[in-house]
Chains A and B, each alone.
Chain A
Amino acid sequence: MAEFHSPEALVEAASRARDAGYRCMDAYSPFPVEPLDDIIEKRGPYLPLLVLIGGAVGAVAGYALQYYVSVIYYPLNVGGRPYNSWPSFIPITFETMILFASLTAVFGMLGLNRLPQPYHPVFNVRRFAMASNDRFFLCIEAVDPKFNTGETHKFLEGLSPDHVSVVQH
């Protein structure tokens, strides 16, 4: 794992590692660094699609609940209005749509990120505490087919980092 002091250096290093053929790596930064999105391998399904589905399910569920209660389970005649008075059902349908979509966005994000995850090997590196402050880290994982402790270490040294450390796990 190599440590850098600016986001630009991290991006530079990550793209060089990618060019060198490393795939199983991750970058760590104290704030989102946009160019990394294209360099680091993407995993898992597409979150916005899940949120869209969540919203659709919410809207259908909200309307279905009101329909079931007002038409089937407990029909009440209020001034001769139809049992299925759909205009009155719109506000709640809208709210449940937003609710389900938001819950999907948050729990989908956490789930796909595999959080909460209290333990992760990177925390074994003492200097990693700086990753939430002002340091930027690039970590090449041992599962990478190209990984070799000695060579990878040398490769990372060649990226002119501030520090290189081995992550125990």
Chain B
Amino acid sequence: MKRLKSPDAKEANVNVPVIAPGHTFGSITEKISSVVLKRRTSKGWFFGFAIGFSLLMLLLYTITYLVTTGIGIWGNNIPVGWAFDIIDFVWWIGIGHAGTLISAILLLLRQEWRTSINRFAEAMTLMAVLCAGLYPVLHTGRPWLAYWLFPYPNTMGVQPQFRSPLMWDVFAVSTYLTVSFLFWFVGLIPDMGTLRDRSTKRFAKAVYGMLSLGWRGSADHWRRYKIAYLLLAGLSTPLVLSVHTIVSFDFAVSVIPGWHTTIFPPYFVAGAVYSGFAMVLTLSIPIRRIYGLTDFITMRHLNNMAKVMLAMGLVVGYGYAMEAFIAWYSGNKYEWAMAYNRWTGPYAWSYWSLIACNIVIPQLLWIRKIRASTIWLFILSLVINIGMWLERFVIIATSLRRDFLPSSWATYKPSFWDFGMFLGTIGLFLTLLFLFIRFLPVINIFEMRELLHEKEAHEAGGEGHQ
């Protein structure tokens, strides 16, 4: 990390191109594929992978202890029946959403700057959803029976309850995982062909060859490929909104004070996008530096992501304000007691740090100099990640510990295993991420070539083509 502080704030201006000048189709191919094929695995990679892998071992240890002992090792107990498992689930799912947003919605809106970050963001989605999926499965207590969640003909003669938001969640998350995987894989097929043709080792050639499905770039194939890709983007867009809406239904459809509100779906979706963009920044800032991809992930990308983050932060801020306002305006004493308890009760620290992390500190993003500094963006993205985690903690823990009857009140304290599992899923995420960086092209190569071609055609100004 040499140039931590950007020397010139203007670098973040819109005039910065999405690809640095001087690149050809060949140089794009060379630069991106060499990360996978030619460059020696760097020390930084081993360092990062080692951290991820150690945390993954912690996860396996935690899961083993959990499965052999029972979910009593977690801190949650009635009335706080949901705690870290659901907090982390929502946090991970939310992080995943930015990937779909970048790859699908920005594609439909023809935001060309998305091209160099979409592959990476999609991979992040996939890994985040995997981490998220672990929690509800393990929270069932008997993960080996998790298939009971799905309707299937069985000898017990029972079937799932489709009126429950938890069932909706099962379908939403499994559909999301499947579609995210398809979207990511379809995007990878032509690049697998490139890696197949460029790799010199026999084994790598065979593996990439198989994964490329024999892609040969035929015009007829490309035509259909583009249609399919666009349709997938069109399908993913409502899907991603529906997934987090359904996640928020897990809360909003219940009657618990602090959960039973109609603002939840939009406010959850905005929060998801917020935390997701923060995570994309957290990951892409070091990666572009270490792998010399600053030509492709330029300050323009970082600046744009910072702006999206700022906008989403304001939407989330509106959500918080509305929650507080409705608690008062509804005249419902349970709602008001809950809100008052959040602000002044034993967990007030979490509420106020959440406000600081998600609303107050990110206002720095208004300043152009801050958006132009990678180190500041990196710090702010971490702050927002923490803030979004706290948001779910506040929603879940403070609402559950005080419901209607004082006789069922309790305090909640997470146990060591709660933290172990959380750090463990971060390990799973990092491990998968480092494997992805090492073995697959982090940037969509063929889209970069197309982008370069469009740019050149644009500059040529209608000589021979429009």
Contact = CB atoms under 8 A, between A and B. Distances in A.
Interface of A: 7-8, 11, 14, 26-33, 35-37, 39-44, 47-48, 51, 55, 62, 65-66, 69-70, 73-74, 76, 78, 81, 85, 88-89, 91-92, 94-96, 98-99, 101-103, 105-106, 108-110, 112-113, 115-120, 122-123, 128-134
Contacts of B143: none
A132 B217 contact: yes
A134 B25 contact: yes
Interface centre among B161, B182, B219, by most chain A C-beta atoms within 10 angstroms, is: B219
Contacts of B423: none
B36 interface: no
B371 to A, nearest CB: 31
Given A32-B223, A69-B159, A70-B162, A91 B246 contact: yes
14 contacts: A30-B194, A31-B447, A31-B449, A32-B222, A40-B219, A74-B158, A88-B163, A96-B171, A106-B182, A106-B185, A109-B186, A109-B227, A118-B214, A132-B196
B308 interface: no
- Interface of B, secondary structure class, is helix
Given A31-B222, A94-B238, A109-B186, 5 more contacts: A43-B220, A91-B246, A92-B168, A106-B185, A113-B221
A-B residue pairs, 4 tightest by C-beta: A109-B228, A134-B25, A116-B213, A129-B197
Interface in B167-211: 167-168, 171-172, 175, 178-179, 182-183, 185-186, 189-190, 193-194, 196-198, 209-210
A32 B220 CA distance: 10
A119 to B, nearest CB: 7
B3 interface: no
A131 B214 contact: no
Contact of B249 (A28, A91, A131): A91
Given A30-B194, A73-B159, A116-B213, A105 B231 contact: yes
Nearest to B195: A132
B149 to A, nearest CB: 12
Nearest to B178: A99
A133 B213 contact: no
Given A92-B167, A117-B213, A30 B182 contact: no
B162 A69 contact: yes
B232 A69 contact: no
B216 A131 contact: yes
Contacts of B151: 65, 69
A30 B449 contact: yes
Interface size class of B (residues with CB under 8 A): 35 or more
Nearest to B168: A91
B242 A91 contact: yes
A118 B215 contact: no
A22 to B, nearest CB: 14
Interface string B215-241: 111111111111110011001101100
Contacts of A122: 216
A2 to B, nearest CB: 14
Nearest to B226: A32
Contact of B175 (A7, A76, A88, A95): A95
A52 B231 CA distance: 10
Given A109-B186, A117-B213, A133 B219 contact: no
B447 to A, nearest CB: 7
Contacts of B48: none
Contacts of B447: 31
B450 A132 contact: no
A43 B223 CA distance: 11
A69 B242 contact: no
A28 B224 contact: no
B464 interface: yes
A8 to B, nearest CB: 6
Contact of B232 (A29, A32, A78, A105): A105
Contacts of B29: 30, 132-134
B328 interface: no
Interface centre among B222, B446, B450, by most chain A C-beta atoms within 10 angstroms, is: B222
Contacts of A29: 217, 219, 222
B227 A92 contact: no
B168 A120 contact: no
Contact of A37 (B213, B219, B232, B465): B219
Interface string B135-157: 00000000000000001000001
A51 B224 contact: no
A99 B449 contact: no
B24 interface: yes
Contact of A42 (B183, B220, B226, B239): B220
B115 to A, nearest CB: 11
A28 B222 CA distance: 9
